[in-house]
Chains A and B, each alone.
Chain A
Amino acid sequence: MHHEAPTISPLPQSGLGDDEPYAIITQDVHKRFGGDKRPIQAIDGISIRVRPGQVTGLIGPDGAGKTTLMRLIAGLLTPDSGSLTVLGMDVRTQALDVQSSLGYMPQHFGLYEDLTVQENLNLYADLQGLPHAQRPARYQQLLAMTGLAPFTNRLAGRLSGGMKQKLGLACTLVRPPRLLLLDEPTVGVEPVSRRELWQIVYQLVADEGMSVLLSTAYLDEAERCADVILVHEGRVLGQGDPAHFTRFLEHRVYCVRQKTGLKRHLQARINAESAVMDAVIDGDCVRAILKPDTPPPTIADVCWRLLPPRFEDAFVVHLQEQVRTDTPQVTPVEDLPLAAGQPVNQSPVIEVHNLTRRFGRFIAVDNLSFSVQRGEIFGLLGANGAGKSTTFRMLCGLLPASSGQLSVAGMDLHTAAAKARARIGYMSQRFALYEVLSCEQNLKFFARTYGLKGQQQAERIAWAIRSFDLEPYRHTNSGILPLGFKQRLAMAAALMHKPEILFLDEPTSGVDPIERRAFWNRINALADQGVTILITTHFMDEAEYCDRLVIMSRGAILAEGSPSDIRALARTDEHPNPRMEDAFIHLVTERPIGEAGTKHA
């Protein structure tokens, strides 16, 4: 392991000589998309060096330019300027030779869903020119490694997300490449499969000496890489081994606890302290990062305990310092139906009993029961395909249930009048606003659909623009807003009519950690004013913000309770402080699951 200058420098001034055979060298690469009118600078001068024989992580939030960089390296895109050398070959002039010696798995795995597992393997063996004599042995090896051996005759389209991911990997590995490029292989895949994929990758590096470049938006995966390249908005923020990114934060990260009260209230209090740069809910405590050389402030009934810094801490601090000097100010969300401070009412506003939804023979939601109290933040946590969105659509009345009862604010929204629907707000998974309308026009449209007119409408729009800091983008078409602002606008639109219940479907997917913090601050403020919030997410750590949550897998509830209740399920002697992800893996692997499971029996 090579150790370099510890800080996040623009580029480590590598101690290695230039003659060291790097797997990838890029030199001041630029790439822009779109016409001259609205150019998007996807890659803005990236120079990196990727060492052979180890896992290098390309880490950054959505829109950072990870996929574009991957495609440039694979020769699928031509840079506007700069040079790319992969395995000693110039990508521009020797694209075909480069492609012959690397394996590339695009984001959606590149599988033919109407071919079987074996047929997909055969196709890639043909394309990569693996001699027939070598095939049986190689297939056997790959199938054993990925656990797909029992499923060779199954259509790829009918595999679970985790199995598709492994088949995609197996296809790119049919002829062992010298360099493996994996573009967000773990996004949206449940934690068990993620863990298994990492094991495979480590094995490849150890056994075959493969060089791996892996991109991910999950910051916690940085710690699994030997070397990390942090990218944001088309630039490299730094490169080095993960520990080096966090070293400067040692003695600055604390776990803050208090004996009574809600964690999110404590978080708000801690955040307001001038010595604190960042505070998030993390397990049982609030994780706070202090400004350099500042002791923890003294607050009554609050204890501070030092924590080792994590990669996400470093990333957040870095973004706050360098990229954005002003962190998004969260104006309290004022003027909602219930006065702040009103006691949390104990009558459930959402009740679900034995809710089931079938699509043909497929059971998307299987016998679900839960209830949500007024003013609660209730989470549905699960991987893609767990049935979260289907449950949501039934609750919002967008989809009839196959069987079971549900009531939202005392009604079944599928049969209830429009008036009842006016009491809920819904923010869908995809950006569902009109991209060719400006922010203001979108807000006006949504206000009108909820019957807000004249003075009232003007007031609500002014409120939305003020509370969500949309003023600079008031007249900008919503389609070209930065992702975080799109999300703010969508949430503002869902709140135009002061709903009592807010449904948020994967609202934080793809936004950077700072936006996510601002988002959760708003949600917390809403909950304090008595708004009931139902949220789905596949980010395990976000579950900590919920008052209560259910963990879903394959349409069924595996566990229900407060975050600490659920974490406690996975507590063992050797693992006294499990994280939410550990709990999830524990629940999924403990319960017997169908043959489609990712476990190989």
Chain B
Amino acid sequence: MRLLGLIRKEALQILRDPSSIAIAFLMPVILLLLFGYGVSLNAKHIPLAVVADAPDAQSAGLFAAFRHSQYFYVRTEPDLTHARQALRSRQVQAIVHLSSDFSAALMNTNRQAPVQLIVNGVDANQARLIQGYVTAAWQGWMVARTQQQGHEFKTPVALSTRVWFNPELRSRDYLVPGLIAVIMTLIGALLTALVMAREWERGTLEALMVTPLRLNELLLGKLIPYFVLGMGGMALSVAMAVWLFDVPLRGSLWVLTLTSAIFLITALGMGLLISIMARNQFVASLLAIITTFLPAFMLSGFIFDIGSMPNWLQVLTHVIAARYFVVILHTVFLAGDVWPVILPNTLAMLVLAAVFLGISRRRIRKSLE
């Protein structure tokens, strides 16, 4: 009766408080739209300046190769000075410069033809991408040119690439599933921490504590409503991912639901732990954002590859539940029910859930201290 009463109260509060609904349903929609449409890790139409000190058929051929590439938007500059100016003023991201002896060196089999590439390295990631695209473009041009001359272009090794799971290399297909982990962290940890802190602030918890209410009931009374709310947010996110963004769901739905439920319990555990420590909404929201939301965003491998982080940071990511859930999400959405991946990660989440809930249960007191 006590537990039911608490759940009923919490449900009524959620229904009446637009901010809970907003965090649970509006926030996922906004984040998904933002990441689904706004953020793309693929670079396309990069503005590129091309400069030939002595324009001729050879240089024009190479530039045409750049023009045909979908990755570049090419503008021709009369000389290097103008091109540098354009790079400085961020009108272009890179310059391909052919010196006046390019054609001569190209014709001479004993010499290598010099191609100078100047890249704006402010965004290191983008710079590396440009490097790769430029290399691919001139290699393509080399192959075509050799074939035109009736020779076969031959390198000692031939690389044949096939992309699995995401053959079109659409970044959206892997951003959107990863985002679900972030959204559920938000609902589970932030919302739970906030509503508990609100009860502290308004003094309602003080009144609750002097009733025959048991601590387990208090914890469950908070967990259950927000578990339901979080699963609702999850369902909405998955529906948007599949139907709006055409992300394939190759694994089974029940695996997704079950692992999500386990992750959500971990997130709720973190939220409860925060709310036991922080008794006002400001501190609670800061703590929740710094200890749960930001790590889920940055250290989970959702956007930034964990393998390229320094070792100490990699070690740290092991206590971040989102890390395991992101791997599961990527696998279930794009690869399928790959048990050797799903099982150990699920186990790790279960351990974390037990730790957070365990600490919460031990720390919570029917006391104002």
Contact = CB atoms under 8 A, between A and B. Distances in A.
A76 B367 contact: yes
Interface string B5-25: 110110011001100000000
B88 interface: no
Given A113-B202, A119-B9, A127-B212, A106 B1 contact: no
Given A111-B204, A115-B12, A102 B367 contact: no
B204 A127 contact: no
A593 interface: no
Nearest to A115: B12
A107 B203 contact: yes
Contact of B208 (A96, A122, A125, A127): A127
Interface in A79-132: 95-96, 99-100, 102-115, 119, 122-129
Nearest to B4: A126
A75 B13 contact: no
Interface in A124-175: 124-129, 155, 168, 171-172
A108 to B, nearest CB: 4
B366 interface: yes
B323 to A, nearest CB: 36
A74 interface: yes
Contacts of B212: 96, 99-100, 127-129
B198 to A, nearest CB: 10
A414 interface: no
Interface string B93-136: 00000000000000000000000000000000000000000000
Contacts of B366: 75-76, 95-96, 99
B1 to A, nearest CB: 5
Contacts of A74: 210
Contacts of B211: 99-100, 124, 127-128
Nearest to B2: A127
Q: Interface range on chain B: under 10, 10 to 19, 20 to 34, or 35 or more?
A: 20 to 34
Contact of B210 (A78, A104, A107, A113): A104
Contacts of B367: 75-78
A571 interface: no
Nearest to B7: A126
A251 interface: no
Nearest to A127: B211
B235 to A, nearest CB: 25
Contact of A76 (B1, B16, B209, B214): B209
A71 interface: yes
A43 to B, nearest CB: 14
A566 to B, nearest CB: 35
A106 B206 contact: yes
Interface string A48-80: 000000000000000000000001001111100
Given A102-B210, A112-B13, A114-B17, A123 B8 contact: yes
A156 to B, nearest CB: 10
Contacts of B12: 114-115, 119
Given A75-B366, A110-B204, A99 B16 contact: no
A155 B208 CA distance: 19
A114 B16 contact: yes
Interface in A416-471: none
Nearest to B14: A114
B196 to A, nearest CB: 14
A105 B203 contact: no
Contacts of A112: 9, 13, 204
B369 interface: yes
Contacts of A99: 209-212, 366
A77 B204 contact: no
B203 A123 contact: no
A123 B210 contact: no
A114 B195 CA distance: 13
B364 to A, nearest CB: 13
Contact of A78 (B13, B16, B206, B369): B369
A75 to B, nearest CB: 7
A119 B9 CA distance: 8
Contacts of A107: 203
Nearest to B3: A126
A103 B6 CA distance: 18
B329 to A, nearest CB: 34
A129 B2 contact: yes
A41 to B, nearest CB: 16
A126 B369 CA distance: 26
Contact of A110 (B8, B16, B206, B214): B206
A76 B367 CA distance: 4
Nearest to B1: A126
B9 A171 contact: no
Nearest to A171: B207
A39 to B, nearest CB: 14
A518 to B, nearest CB: 32
Nearest to A174: B211
A306 B213 CA distance: 55
Contacts of A172: 207
A141 B275 CA distance: 37
A129 B212 CA distance: 8
Contact of A129 (B1, B17, B210, B369): B1
A78 B13 CA distance: 31
Contacts of B213: 127
B157 interface: no
Contacts of B206: 71, 76, 106, 110
A170 to B, nearest CB: 12
B368 interface: yes
Contact of B207 (A95, A96, A106, A113): A106
A123 to B, nearest CB: 5
B209 A114 contact: no
Most buried by A among B2, B211, B366: B211
6 smallest A-B Cβ distances: which pairs? A126-B5, A110-B207, A104-B210, A108-B203, A127-B211, A100-B212
Given A96-B366, A129-B212, 10 more contacts: A71-B368, A99-B366, A109-B207, A113-B202, A123-B6, A123-B9, A124-B211, A126-B1, A126-B4, A129-B1
15 contacts: A76-B206, A99-B210, A99-B211, A99-B212, A103-B210, A106-B203, A108-B202, A110-B203, A110-B206, A112-B9, A115-B9, A123-B8, A127-B213, A129-B2, A172-B207
